[in-house]
């Protein structure tokens, strides 16, 4: 007897962590090929963040949800650093309020942050710095 697990979009939504961006390879891994993703976008199940990157319709996504996709799905070694890392760990003394907040991300010189992440309006200024400091 077959076990019914729901429609493809329901399976995807259940596997998709709230508040995060997913990239097309993640959707394909979960059975949603490009044409189907386009249909989900047309029927308002998905919202496009940029080329090949999506949010669940109506989901509030911050820069951390985009960084999640970069780290966990694209496997790029990009990390929060400086004051941003301290604030994420709860050690920030002066939390910037509203617009004007700056997020510091770091990566190796040969690692580029995806265009969809750079172009999306996260509500904060994102500063990406490349360095060999942590290469090893």
- Residue 132's nearest CA partner among 112, 104, 113, 110 is 110
Contact 109, 133 (CB under 8 A): no
pLDDT at position 2 is: 44
For residues 91 and 97, give the distance between their C-alpha atoms in angstroms, rounded to a whole number.
16
For residues 114 and 83, give the distance between their C-alpha atoms in angstroms, rounded to a whole number.
23
> Rounded to two decimals, what is the model's pTM?
0.83
pLDDT at position 1 is: 41
pLDDT at position 24 is: 96
Residues of the chain with pLDDT under 70: 1-6, 82, 84-86, 88-100, 134-136
């Amino acid at each position: 007897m077959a076990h019914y697990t729901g429609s493809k979009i329901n399976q995807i939504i259940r596997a998709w962590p709230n508040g995060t961006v997913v990239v097309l390879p993640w959707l394909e891994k979960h059975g949603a090929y490009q044409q189907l993703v386009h249909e989900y976008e047309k029927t308002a199940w998905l919202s496009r963040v940029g080329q090949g990157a999506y949010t669940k319709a109506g989901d509030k996504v911050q820069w951390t949800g985009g960084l999640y996709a970069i780290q966990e799905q694209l496997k790029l070694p990009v990390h929060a650093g400086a004051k941003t890392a301290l604030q994420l760990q709860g050690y920030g003394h002066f939390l910037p309020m509203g617009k004007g907040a700056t997020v510091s991300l770091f990566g190796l010189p040969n690692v580029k942050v995806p265009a969809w992440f750079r172009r999306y309006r996260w509500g904060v200024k994102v500063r990406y710095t490349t360095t060999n400091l942590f290469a090893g």
